[in-house]
Structure 1
């Protein structure tokens, strides 16, 4: 396997660092618009693992907005797989570049949505991933695989959902992805500050778009942002967190392969974060449409959302000032295989102290990066295979979760996952 990694930001950097401990690939090209970021990642691998391990890594420059730039770089290095680790606004171009190069493709976030023009909080318009699924025949004809939504959420959450469907339930009432954390970021003086642990560009997109809910009777419908608040108790000391509806790929992926009466995604944002997002929206600072702005060097055009992203700390750099844990998982209700009511939460927790010590990556980006590396290894060994545009639910969850939990000393990733039985309603 020869991998072209597009993007050396927080998640891309973590993907390369995790992969450095594995031997399933021949070459990993770390590419970025700024090649110094890619080289910085490889320098860390040299310092941590030595030049022999780092010999399988190459730094390169790529323009993710140009399909031909992606395709040319993939061809140059004989890439068999293109791993997309840039903002979801670049999904169409990286997706096209991978297919043009005859490579398989993975991403962690899907093509963007467009709200319904007249009824945005009731009906869907263009849904997340619609553009990619419409191109499925092209991938099938080419005999190539596009594995979409293979991060943590979406990604691991979808693997958990498939496992629950196959092994824990005879019928499912709800597949409810629930994400929460107790993370705190402090400045040099020890004061808690507002510093999102993931890309603010992506967070704005997810949280201010109309959330989607799926029901077996009504299909996909939308609601208002931050709707249906509920308190969800997260494990391993995180505790109760208020979660609200947020637009996310799981709701668009799970119903395509899994049988459930309802599919939801709720995110533990907190009052402060919701307040900031509402203010950005009120001031139109969430817009991606460029505005003409006067500067000392004359007028320039800049998107307000890009300004917000530039003004906040880079999520890849806040790890040393962050404490706490993040939890990703799926809450499943329904009828167990013994015909009795059942309610479980399948989850994975990442502790920032551990991820910083082991990888110098903050826990949110590291947890996201873990899962595509596991998926790539399963594809390399043939444990997973497929053609077309497929989500994680299309694959057997058992080999993924087994490899994930197996100790590193025995060839696994050493990441235990939890299954918490809860009182059935």
Structure 2
């Protein structure tokens, strides 16, 4: 039984808090902290059968974080705040001797560039202190890394190509809204695309490569667009047989139309502009006027489908496998007051914490999800709400 400190009270923080409270055999105490304590209090009030302690903390401030960790004395800090704050929270964990977990890799606030190099650089310091940091324990990154590791362990002798495909086949009825933090979402989508091919990163313009893909379980055909996503960086490092890695995501024509207009008029800029004597960042202003993703839960209907198609060699023959999950927006909201985008990130974060706290996944240093036994993780993920489906040897087109 272990005490955890959850930092971040957005949609993912809500799911993580609910799911940790459900796993009473692992979690003995939970503290939920955020810059806005009232958000923490509102989440705590949703869980009357598990006393959730709340606190106020500025995750950009290492001394504040250190003071809170020393006061609460958790065995693990779950970082579901913004990716800008990964390094300050890791610094605080090092100073206080506490294990660390997050769901997205570090990104500097003034540069739309996310990569693992900053966090991998912490490996020796965590190792020297006998601490563990688990990076990217969400769905993508996170479960997609685990699916790839499962393909390598169970279905293929060598993986040569992977296509990570993320579909949100749901609708919230709003003219334009993002399903998670608008600032992070838009930075990610508008960044140049990179994919891995024959030992190199190939860069192409954002959203310039498009295919139609037939999704399983009745979801049907949807347009998918190639973009860069961080799990490819760790997967090609830790599974060196991979010759080609691509990430694909669905976007509606309506979303892309609005995004193009916002880009054309400068509203997606992340540099400061002067307005009436004050400096503002257009994208941060846009975030303030767009619908809060947390408000979309009761409005969103439909399903998500996120998975990995892995191709390679099995018993000397070419083979492919499709490993995926289907998640229902309305069922998620009924259970934890959040839609499936937050649910598919928050549940794996909780399971990653369970793996660490029970010792099923253990190491000293900084790790990515594919470095551990995938079946141990997936055996817990399914009863926590995200079952895995496998089409072994199916006929899926090469993208």
Shorter-chain TM-score tier:
over 0.9
SS in structure 1 of the partner of residue 4 of structure 2: strand
Q: Tell me, yes or no, if structure 1 residue 106 matches structure 2 residue 101.
A: yes
More strand by share: 2
Aligned equivalent of 1:63, options 54, 58, 63: 58
- Distance in 2, Cα, partners of 1:9 & 1:284: 27
1:265 is the counterpart of 2:266: no
Please say which of residues 413-422 and 155-164 is displaced more in the overlay. Answer: 413-422
Q: Which residue of 2 aligns with 1:346?
A: 323
Aligned residues: 393
Task: Give TM-score, length-normalised by structure 2.
Answer: 0.93
Alpha-carbon distance, 1:93 to partner: 1.8
Cα distance change of structure 1 residues 133 and 242 upon mapping to structure 2, 3 Å threshold: same
Q: Which secondary structure state, in structure 1, belongs to the residue aligned with residue 251 of structure 2?
A: coil
Partner of 2:363: 386
Contact kept in structure 1, 2:110 and 2:270, CA below 8 Å: no
Counterpart residue number, 1:365: 342
- 2-structure distance, mates of 1:36, 1:111: 26
* Cross-structure match for 2:303: 325
List alignment gaps of at least 5 residues for structure 2: none
Mapping 1:186-205, distance limit 5 Å: 186=173, 192-205=174-187
Shift in Å at residue 270 of structure 1? 2.5
Q: Which residue of 2 aligns with 1:19?
A: 20
Q: State the SS of the aligned residue for 1:332.
A: strand
Contact 1:177-1:250 at 8 Å conserved across structures: no
Tell me the C-alpha RMSD between the 2 structures: 2.0
Q: Is the 8 A contact 1:185 1:194 kept in 2?
A: no
For residue 69 of structure 2, give the secondary structure of its aligned residue in structure 1: helix
Aligned to 1:8: 9
Equivalent pair of 1:342/1:424 in contact (CA under 8 Å): no
Distance 1:309 1:253, change over 3 A: same
Match in the other structure for 2:283: 305
Which residue number in structure 2 is paired with residue 189 of structure 1?
none
**1:399 and 1:269 mapped to 2: Cα distance?**
33
The 3-state SS of whatever aligns with 2:346 is: helix
Alpha-carbon shift at residue 126 of structure 1 (Å): 6.4
CA contact (8 A) 2:58 2:65 kept: yes
**Structure 1 residues without counterparts, runs of 5 or longer:** 117-124, 187-191, 406-411
Q: What is the distance in 1 between the residues matched to 2:116 and 2:265?
A: 28
What TM-score comes out, normalization by structure 1 length?
0.88
| Correspondence for 1:119 | none
The 3-state SS of whatever aligns with 2:355 is: helix
Distance 1:115 1:248 in 2: 19
> Does the Cα contact within 8 Å between 1:244 and 1:268 map onto a contact in 2?
yes
In structure 1, the residue corresponding to 2:332 is in which secondary structure? helix
| Structure-1 separation of matches of 2:114 and 2:187 | 13
